[in-house]
Amino acid sequence: MEAHRSIERFESGHRAGGGELDTPHFARQAALVVAVMAAFLAIATFLSNEAVKEVVTGETDRADTSSRLESNQLKIDVAGGASTMLKVLADGPRDQAQAAVAAAAHERRIEKELVPADEALVEEMHHDEVHVDHYNDKHLLYELAEVGLEVGIVLATVSIIAHRRWLLGSGVAVGLIGALLLIAGLVTV
């Protein structure tokens, strides 16, 4: 009979509202918190991976543009050198006139084609750099969100084992920080 009274005292001391034992109710709350944070963690991980892909693609585009810029600058140097050589190597009035026409053609090509292409490539490289920097920033926010959510999940899980509400509260707080970082990554433009 004494064992039966002990169980009744235990149950009455641990009853939550609605007649349920506090322990299962608490465990359900903590499990729900863990599930929600795990969903946010999955989203943060996916977005982090996508941001890394954008960074790699942007860096590849920037390297390609840089290569095209160097090639264009080489064309400018060759055309300028050809123009100068034509002016220097001309022998006599007839050759000078032909050399001057050829040199002028090289100089027009530099001015009308190659210099504008050079400027466009520099602008494209700048755009690629801004794009990469933007996605690097987003990636950092997503990574920090992952850490916050992972720590929140651990704390909430330990709260079930240790049956400590303050651990669950701490897990929720850290998880909220992770969720806010995830949202910050989503809204950065």
Condensed to tens digits (0 to 9), the pLDDT of residues 3-32 reads 555 556 555 555 544 444 456 788 889 999
Mean pLDDT to the nearest integer, 116-131: 87
pLDDT value for 149: 96
| In the chain, domain spans | 24-187
Contacts of residues 23-28 at CB distance under 8 Å and 24 or more positions apart, as own/partner, are 23/163, 26/160, 26/163, 26/165, 26/168, 27/160
Best CA proximity match to 188, nearest among 133, 113, 107: 133
pLDDT value for 8: 60
DSSP state of 14: T
Report the alpha-carbon distance of residue 153 to residue 178 in Å, rounded. 11
Mean pLDDT, the chain, whole residue set: 83
Report the alpha-carbon distance of residue 157 to residue 151 in Å, rounded. 10
Span 24-187 CATH architecture: Orthogonal Bundle (1.10)
Instruction: Record the pTM.
Output: 0.68
pLDDT tens, position by position, 91-106: 666 667 777 777 777 7
Amino acid at 13: G
Name the strand (E) or helix (H) holding 146.
helix 115-162
Report the alpha-carbon distance of residue 149 to residue 45 in Å, rounded. 10
Mean pLDDT to the nearest integer, 132-145: 94
Q: Does the pLDDT value for residue 36 go beyond 50? A: yes
